[in-house]
Structure 1
Amino acid sequence: MKHFLGFTYDGIPSMHYGITQVNVGSGLYDDTLMSATTIESDTVKGRDVSFFKSITKENIKITMSIYMERGVDERQLDIVRAWFDVDYYRPFYFDERPDRLVFAMIEGEVKIRHDGYQGYLEVTLTTNSPYWWSPIHALDFKGATTFNFTNTGTKSLFPMIEITAKGDISSGSPVKVINVRTGQSLEVTLMASGEVLTIDCLYKSLQSSLPETYRYDVCNEKYIEIETGVSPIQLVGNASFKFRYRERYR
């Protein structure tokens, strides 16, 4: 958002380098409320209604004009080059909204407008998603229980679930994570005592703490989705449970 001044990129506040976002135009700020959505549909001759096929949500782009308070000498420019010159997406958020972050990297040229002493840069950051994300939230439970999972985001979320077996888990006494609201039931029917099974519901993957052990054949792979609002979650079995998740926002 162009009315915000400071931002943090890759863990470093812009103020640390004497950099602030500025509005070089006049009048109202020009911001993008949501990234673009492309609709794919088919038309049939003689019909007035298109047949919907799918939509594609483009990744977020953030354009900024950033003022260099310490001038544009080569030392300062080298610092900025090293900061922005990354090979993968890094966390970014505006200091006024630390509860909303994206993972982004510079795309295209970085332009500098200056008089030889003072100036500002024009940069475009491209993210790896059409969504803003919350910081990581955590929920820990020492045993079987029922609790209300509150998702304050605007989209469904898919948690990372870490299950630690307190004893041997079998098909006669499985471990379950049940979303009472939707009826989803994630079930694991075999774990050794002390084993830790990490279940990534977003990327649909399982990882055991035991070497050369794979648990896909003893898990029903009904990965849990948490809709917006409040969802009662039931935890079943002789295990402890940890949830790690980010909420999503458009």
Structure 2
Amino acid sequence: MTIETDGWRYKRWKKDGEQVKESLHFVHDGISSRDMKCKQVSLDAGLYEEIFLPNKTIIEKKVRYNHKPYFVGAEYDPLEIPMTIQFENVTDEEVRSICRWLDQDYYKEFYFENRPERRFYVIYSGDSRLLHNGIRDSGGIVSLVFRTNNPFSYSPVFVSETYDLSVNGTNGTDITFVNSGDLPCKPILEFEKVGNGDLKIVNMSNAGQEFELKALLSGEKIRVDNHHKEIETDIVGTYRYDNHNDVFLEMLRGNNYLKVYGNVKMRFVYQFETKG
């Protein structure tokens, strides 16, 4: 469907579409495009075109007299999200506000309103163009490109229930962590130690991977970022890397059956990564 407004002719997105390109509004850095008096539009007719998978570079090594190269690995490129944004009846100050909102110095969370479960962290990368009819108050149409920090999209941030293992027997306690993404998940582990002693978590679904912290103090609160391999304690001037076995948790796709040893109150904070 094509409509005209203030001299602009553009295609209206489907109201209940399931693809991100069909979404009229989006959220960037926690602010909706509705509040900024702008929206996503399309200047093209026909089918919607979106990125299905990120660009992938095959890394190979060639050896003399061997016509078949050796496969070394593969690298994915971060995604690029081209946007066409229309704003109407905005003042010069509001236009400047839109510029500040879209062009920031670091990656900001971004998602389309009809797909809030699929999130990106983006930064404006350039290729910006403004189309207008010469009447400043009528607004304009801006095209630009966002670059993501990841070849894949993220889920929202999830926080698990708090597992109260204050009384944990010598046989440990079974916990199931479900990774609904397409890639391994390395969650943040937050826990409070109950009584002096150790904490060990064994992932039976990942070849018996063992995460362990020893000689912890009662009441000590610890945060372990398994993705960035960071360990923080609330005890001032104390570092727990020497108490750690240098193995960080990695949850494979699907069900991860964990065995937890040690008396703690713990929870997971995590995001899934999704292809396509």
Determine if the alignment matches structure 1 residue 168 to structure 2 residue 230: no
Determine if the alignment matches structure 1 residue 26 to structure 2 residue 51: no
- Count residues in correspondence: 245
Aligned CA-pair RMSD: 1.4
- 1:59 match: 78
CA-CA distance at 1:163 after TM superposition: 2.2
Runs of at least 5 residues in structure 2 that lack an aligned partner in the other structure:
1-19
Could you list the per-position Cα deviations for residues 127-180 of structure 1 after superposition, in whole angstroms to 9, with x for gaps in the alignment? 1111211111112211143121111111110011112111111xxxx2111111
Alignment of 1:1-250 (within 5 A): 1-71=20-90, 73-116=91-134, 117-139=138-160, 140-143=162-165, 144=168, 145-169=173-197, 174-182=198-206, 183-250=208-275
Same amino acid, percent of matched pairs: 28
Distance (whole Å) between structure 2 residues aligned to residue 158 and residue 193 of structure 1:
26
CA-CA distance at 1:118 after TM superposition: 3.7
CA-CA distance at 1:92 after TM superposition: 0.3
CA-CA distance at 1:35 after TM superposition: 1.6
Question: Normalising to structure 1: TM-score of the pair?
Answer: 0.93
Aligned residues of 1:177 and 1:185 also touching (Cα < 8 A): yes
Structure 1 ranges of 4+ moved more than 6 A? none
- Letter paired with 1:125: F
Runs of at least 5 residues in structure 1 that lack an aligned partner in the other structure:
none
Could you list the per-position Cα deviations for residues 75-116 of structure 1 after superposition, in whole angstroms to 9, with x for gaps in the alignment? 331121121231111100010111111111111142111112
CA-CA distance at 1:48 after TM superposition: 2.8
